[in-house]
Amino acid sequence: MSWLFGMKPAPPPEIPADFNPPQGGDSKDPAGHGQQQQQASRMAYSFDSTALERAAKAARDLERFPNAKEALELSRLQELTRQKEVEQQTKQLEAQIQAMKSDQTRIAEEERRKTLNEETKHARARADYQDQLARKRAEEELALKARMQEESLRKQEESVKKQEALRKATIEHELALKHKYELEKIDAETRARAKAARENR
């Protein structure tokens, strides 16, 4: 078997046409057998009901063919290599799945952060708009109150002016009436004196 490890060159053993080694190998190495069992457990291999038949046939082949033992060892090594390749591919697939999960988590977190930023922006915009509306309403209320006060003052001034004009008109009317009465009184007295003077003659 030293040619398997490169110690000296040797041609590969001739495998008979009817030689059919078992799929999992039949090594007498406990460590190798235990590793195969662990790998078989990880890969969830199912039990083959024809394994005993293949093992029996392999034992018969060992007796019939002189190179069968080397061929069986080569088959076992090939199976181990294939299992390692499958295990490596499985690890690569798991790493890819984990990377995809990490990417999905990162993308979901970015989307959540973007959504939160948009919601914050919209909430701030709504608050600013409501504040602007409140300020505008307050300014309009102040302007309306100022106009109402100005109108009230104007009306009060007009009322005062009207009252002053009415008072002046009343005084002027009273003065005119008094002056008229005085003129009439003077005229009456003058006539009475003239009449009395005529009668005394």
Inter-axis angle of helices 68-200 and 51-64, nearest 10: 150
Least confident window among 34-43, 59-68, 69-78: 34-43
Q: How far apart are CA 51 and CA 18, in angstroms?
A: 17
64 confidence band (pLDDT: 50, 70, 90): low
The answer to whether the CB of 13 falls within 8 A of the CB of 69 is no
- The residue ranges of every structural domain in the chain are 2-91
74 confidence band (pLDDT: 50, 70, 90): confident
Pick the residue with more confidence: 104 or 7?
104
Highest mean pLDDT among 13-17, 63-67, 75-79, 160-164: 160-164
The pLDDT score that the predictor gives to residue 3 is 39
121 confidence band (pLDDT: 50, 70, 90): very high
The pLDDT score that the predictor gives to residue 193 is 86
What pTM value is reported for the model? 0.35
Q: What is the mean pLDDT of the chain?
A: 78
Q: Give how far the C-alpha of residue 102 lies from the chain's centroid of Cα atoms, to the nearest Å.
A: 19
For residue 92, pLDDT beyond 60: yes
Q: How far apart are CA 184 and CA 180, in angstroms?
A: 6
